[in-house]
């Protein structure tokens, strides 16, 4: 049985306080660390003395194959990514490659996906309680998914009154996508629907803007690959610089109650 191990590790939003215990543990156990250069920079203090391979953003296939190759040679490897590796992360590509190679769980290399806090979690925590009811997650990146398919998914989320989390809202080359998405939502939602824009959650570059659907494009300076946009549904409201989505307790219970205390 191959003694090599491959950990696909979610680093969370970037601050060490929000990494899981398991993520820290497997990184400390690993001989080799592989990842996108920006993600490697988030954990430099944790990987001193290790063999480190840094990659550019668009080299996912190269990263994945190198990680698998070293594990197949008996090495202990951590392939790191921000957030959760199972949400627009690297674990899917790893499984695709291993499936092509005929890998069988328990017979080949040991593979473990170490989950992390995704930006939908970290951004929601910063702005209140926007994800209390059903929600959808859509990425605006059309590098791997055709734009017409993304439009169908946005349309479905808007029509279904889902709170919608938007990953990768814009880049230097992608300008129209978020504008088109806003226009689709305006067909089904009130222009005053609450929207939150969060850049670099829990990083030094963190910035938060609470706005509305019709004004969301006024914050172009915040939009980029480390920005997440959360569009509320018909029940979402702003309160005290927060974005609140009611769970529905009010329809079932008296939510404000006097609590008597004995002395």
Q: The tokens of 240 are what?
A: 């005290």
Instruction: Write down the pLDDT at residue 106.
Output: 83
Residue with tokens 């979690």: 121
> In this predicted structure, what is the pLDDT of residue 107?
86
- Its sign, for the CA torsion 246, 247, 251, 254, is negative
Is 89's pLDDT higher than 70? yes
Give the model confidence (pLDDT) of 148-196 as tens digits.
999 999 999 999 999 999 999 988 777 799 999 999 999 999 999 999 9
Delineate the domains of the chain, giving CATH numbers in brackets. Answer: 5-117 (3.40.1010.10), 120-244 (3.30.950.10)
127: left (phi over 0), alpha (psi -120 to 50) or beta: alpha
pLDDT value at position 171?
Answer: 80
Kindly indicate the confidence band of residue 250, based on its pLDDT and cuts at 50, 70 and 90: low
Per-residue tokens: 156: 């479905």
pTM attached to this predicted model: 0.89
């Amino acid at each position: 049985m191959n003694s090599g191990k491959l950990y696909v590790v979610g680093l969370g939003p970037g601050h060490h306080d929000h990494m899981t215990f398991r993520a820290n543990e497997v990184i400390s156990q690993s001989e080799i660390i592989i990842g996108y250069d920006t993600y490697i920079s988030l954990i430099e203090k944790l990987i001193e003395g290790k063999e480190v391979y840094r990659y550019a953003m668009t080299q996912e296939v190269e990263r994945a194959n190198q990680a698998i190759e070293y594990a197949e040679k008996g090495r202990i490897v951590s392939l790191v990514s921000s957030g959760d590796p199972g949400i627009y992360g690297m674990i899917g590509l790893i499984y695709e490659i291993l499936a092509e190679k005929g890998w069988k769980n328990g017979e080949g290399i040991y593979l473990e996906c170490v989950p992390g806090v995704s930006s939908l979690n970290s951004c929601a925590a910063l702005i209140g309680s926007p994800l209390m009811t059903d929600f959808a997650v859509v990425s605006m990146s059309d590098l791997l998914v055709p734009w017409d398919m993304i439009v169908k998914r946005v349309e479905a989320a808007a029509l279904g009154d889902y709170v919608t989390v938007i990953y990768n809202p814009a880049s230097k080359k992608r300008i129209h996508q978020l504008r088109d998405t806003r226009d689709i939502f305006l067909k089904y939602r009130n222009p005053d629907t609450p929207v939150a824009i969060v850049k670099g959650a829990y990083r030094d570059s963190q910035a938060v803007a609470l706005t509305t659907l019709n004004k969301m494009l006024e914050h172009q300076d915040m939009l980029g690959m480390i920005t997440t946009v959360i569009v509320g549904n018909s029940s979402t409201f702003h309160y005290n610089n927060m974005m609140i989505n009611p769970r529905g307790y009010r329809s079932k219970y008296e939510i404000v109650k006097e609590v008597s205390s004995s002395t």
